[in-house]
Amino acid sequence: RRPARTHLRGRVLMLLDGLRPVHLVTVAAATTLFSAVLWHFYARSGSLLPGPAWLTVVVLLVLAVLVLWGGWQVRRYQHGRHDKDFTVLRAARALRLAQAGAITGAVVVGWFLGHLAILLPDRDLTPYARQLVPLGVLIAAGVVLSVAGLLAQHWCRLPKDPRDGAAT
């Protein structure tokens, strides 16, 4: 297995091979730990954990649609359907949007998994029992955004050049 190639451009470390699911799992795990610690201290202060907002699900799903739409535009261009206003800069922005969406989805998954981890031991309390379904839906929406980002990133990948592997 080869290591991920990286390139330092400006101040941002970019992955030349793109995001992989293992990167997103790592982000989600780190965010889960961070979130669980924060919610633990919040709960120890004597406050009940706040319930999640349903509007967050709508926002995450709208973001997933926008990410897929941007990636689809690049895919259409690569398959010969040219728009007059399509540029390389627009394709690069679609790729960055896809990667940002994937990472954002992983952060959302981690944040609400941490919330759920602190809430589960006291799930027999009525206010906490009411939060189980919304938290599950939010975690699923975060996964949808991450998958949409990975798919759009795949659509933005340039086709392999047949001359790269050919012996001359």
Give CA torsion, residues 145, 151, 155, 161, to 10 deg. 140
Q: Are 35 and 113 in contact (CB under 8 A)?
A: yes
Q: How far is CA 138 from CA 7, 44, 53, 90, 160, in A?
A: 34, 24, 9, 30, 37
With a cut of 90, say whether residue 153 has pLDDT above it: yes
**Predicted pLDDT of residue 10:** 44
Closest listed residue to residue 140, CA positions, set 167, 113, 161, 103: 113
Q: Which tens digit of pLDDT belongs to each residue from 1-55? A: 555 555 545 444 445 678 999 999 999 999 999 999 999 999 999 888 898 999 9
CA dist., res. 123 & res. 116, Å (int): 9
Residue 13: which H helix or E strand, with range? strand 12-15
CA distance 40 to 119: 9
Contact 119, 40 (CB under 8 A): no
- The Cα-based distances of 47 to 41, 51, 132 in angstroms read 10, 12, 18
The length of the chain in residues reads 168
Flag whether pLDDT at 165 surpasses 50. Answer: yes
Flag whether pLDDT at 147 surpasses 50: yes
d(CA 110, CA 31): 5
The predicted structure's pLDDT at residue 111: 97
Q: Which of 158, 119, 159 is nearest to 139 (CA)?
A: 119
